[in-house]
Amino acid sequence: MVITSAPGKVILFGEHAVVYGEPALAGAIDRRVYVHATKIPSGVKIVSDKSKDFRYAKKAVELAFDYTGRKCGLDIKVDSELPPASGLGSSAAVSVATILAVSKLLGAKLSRAEIAKLGHRAELEVQGAASPTDTAISTFGGVLFIQPKKQKYQRINATLPMVVGYTGIERSTKMLVQNVKSLKEKFPEIVNPIIKDIGKITREAKRRLENNEDVGELMNINHGLLDALGVSTEKLNELVYAARNAGAKGAKLTGAGGGGCMIAYAPKNAEKVARAIEKCGCAALKTGISGEGVRVAFKYNN
């Protein structure tokens, strides 16, 4: 049997603007998905408490069989520390951890680049459209500067203590991206500069992270612009202000918005910030942004 794990992700800067070719910064978090896989005589059995995870695991198994040209009977169990549809990248983590687990049981050696590619394909086939960001972060770990036009990922050496606040409200990334597109078409002269400014913020954040400088204020500006694009909500704003009032150096929504999660950069006051988020009736998780990518956690040859 083999147990693999892969991290979830947060977008630190640049969501929505990345859809229009601006860069984004995203990082792996310390919360992971675990896939337990065992060879059985025949058939593929998948157990997961979340129906969404089940679909990604099933697709990942099919793709791993196809890609390696090998097959076996499988018993798979998915355990996740990530809430689904929250923007924390749970489907990408399930996909890449399953691909690694199945490839190990089949005796096939896949590179990280191959795992990321297959994981992205699993996401595309299950949900129709998906950017390769989540599967890249989940596979490689760490913090990545993403340049969509060049299809390039640059690793940034940064470790950031963050508090993630989860509103508990599920949302559709597709719908929120569509809303921003409509606003952009209605007011191009106003919305295009906002998107360009988010790109500038992301480039400046990269420069500061590489020099070990504070990015709190840039997070606040980024949040204000995302709110202007209409993707924040009253609850997300409440959490952002609660975090700042509790001593966070910066706070912003993360991912598509409309619910889901926010992040607070709180190097000194993480505990206080987490309590302030909980006081708003939401879950808080303290996490480092530097997590290790997909890996084998346990392997037993039988």
| Binding residues vs ligand PMV (CB under 6 A) | 11, 15-16, 18-19, 87, 131, 173, 177, 255-256
Is 73 or 168 the residue whose CB approaches ligand PMV more closely?
Answer: 168
Is 77 or 203 the residue whose CB approaches ligand PMV more closely?
Answer: 203
DSSP 72: -
* Distance in Å, CB of 261 to ligand PMV, minimum: 8
* Distance in Å, CB of 93 to ligand PMV, minimum: 12
Is 80 or 269 the residue whose CB approaches ligand PMV more closely?
Answer: 80
* Distance in Å, CB of 2 to ligand PMV, minimum: 28
Contact 193, 180 (CB under 8 A): no
- Please tell me which residue in 134, 197, 214, 227 is annotated as part of the active site: 134
Backbone angles phi, psi at 21, to 5 degrees: 95, 0
Name the 3-class secondary structure at 190. helix
Question: In the chain, what is the straight-line distance between the N-terminal and C-terminal CA atoms, in Å?
Answer: 7
Question: How far apart (Å, rounded) are the C-alpha atoms in residues 20 and 1?
Answer: 43
* Distance in Å, CB of 153 to ligand PMV, minimum: 14
Is 87 or 199 the residue whose CB approaches ligand PMV more closely?
Answer: 87
* Distance in Å, CB of 109 to ligand PMV, minimum: 30
Q: Give residue 258's region: left, alpha or beta (phi > 0; psi -120 to 50).
A: left
Is 11 or 78 the residue whose CB approaches ligand PMV more closely?
Answer: 11
Question: How far apart (Å, rounded) are the C-alpha atoms in residues 60 and 33?
Answer: 14
Question: How far apart (Å, rounded) are the C-alpha atoms in residues 130 and 113?
Answer: 17
Q: Is 134 a catalytic residue?
A: yes
Helix or strand holding residue 279 (H, E): helix 270-279
Q: Which of 39, 65, 52 is nearest to 92 (CA)?
A: 52
Reported residue count of the chain is 302
Amino acid at position 171, single letter: R
Residues 6 or more apart whose Cβ sits within 8 Å of residue 38: 1, 2, 74, 75, 76, 105
* Distance in Å, CB of 53 to ligand PMV, minimum: 15
What is the residue whose two structure tokens read 């569509």?
178
Cα 227 from chain centre = 20
Is 115 or 256 the residue whose CB approaches ligand PMV more closely?
Answer: 256
Active site residues: 134
